[in-house]
Amino acid sequence: MTLLITWPESGPQTVVRRTSEPAEIAAALAPLRVRYEQWPVRHDVPADADGDTVLAAYRSEIDRLNEEEGFVTVDVVSLHPETAPDWPARARAAREKFLDEHTHDDDDEVRFFVAGAGIFYLHATGEVHAVYCEKGDLLGVPKGTTHWFDMGTRPSFTAIRFFHEEDGWIGSFTGSGISSRFPDFDTIHAGLTAEREA
C-alpha cells in the first residue's frame, strides 16, 4: 500500500495528512512539482531479476517517460538480502548514503519501484511529506528539493533510476539533523504491516 504522511517540519507530533489514495497523493505532491505515478506491475518479473530483464519488461513506460522528460541514462539498482555479498555492511553503507537531508543541484531524482519498498521524505513548504513507495510506484523529486530516502535496516528493493545527467546521483547535504526527528522506514513499514494483518 502506497502511503503519504505529512507533518509540520517541527516534528511528527501532529499529522497534517495521511492517505493511501493514489489520486490524493498525486494531488498533494503536485504543488511541490513532485511527479507521482503508478505503472502497471509486471508480475512475471521476479524481485531479483537482472537489469536487462527489468528494463525490457518496462520498456514502453520507460520510453514514454524518456520522451516526456529527456532522460539520458536509465539503469536498475537492486539490493536484496538473499543476493547481496557482505550483506550487513553493504546494507548499512547504502542506507547511510541517503539518510541525511540533501538536495540535487543538477538533476531530478526519479525512481520506479519494481519490487520492495522505500520512503522518500520531502522537506518543503514548512512540512515533511513521507511518501512510502512500493512495487508499481514512480516518484520524481525535482532538483533543488530538500529530501532524504530511507530503505530501512534490512533493505529489499529493485528500482529503475532515471537521470538527465550522465554523472548520476550527486547529493549536496544540508547538514541538518531533521531526518533523525521523524519516523524511519522500519517504524512506518511495521505500522503498515500491522494494518494489513488486522
Question: 104: annotated binding-site residue?
Answer: yes
Question: 102: annotated binding-site residue?
Answer: yes
For residue 118, list its beta bridge partners: 133
CA-based nearest residue to 81, from 63, 95, 70, 67: 95
Could you give the 3-state DSSP secondary structure of residue 7? strand
DSSP string across 85-124: TTHHHHHHHHHHHHSS-EE-SS--EEEEEEEEEEEEEEEE
- The alpha-carbon radius of gyration of the chain (Å, integer) is 16
- Beta strand pairing call for 127-134 and 157-163: unpaired
Place of cell 504522511: 5
- What amino acid occupies position 125? T
Question: 189: annotated binding-site residue?
Answer: no
Contact indicator for 160, 71 with CB cutoff of 8 Å? no
Could you give the 3-state DSSP secondary structure of residue 41? coil
Question: 123: annotated binding-site residue?
Answer: no
Which residues have CB under 8 Å from 98's CB, separation 6+?
148, 149, 150, 151, 171
**Binding-site residues for Fe(2+), please?**
102, 104, 109, 147
Binding residue numbers for Ni(2+)? 102, 104, 109, 147
Which residues participate in the annotated binding site?
A: 102, 104, 109, 147
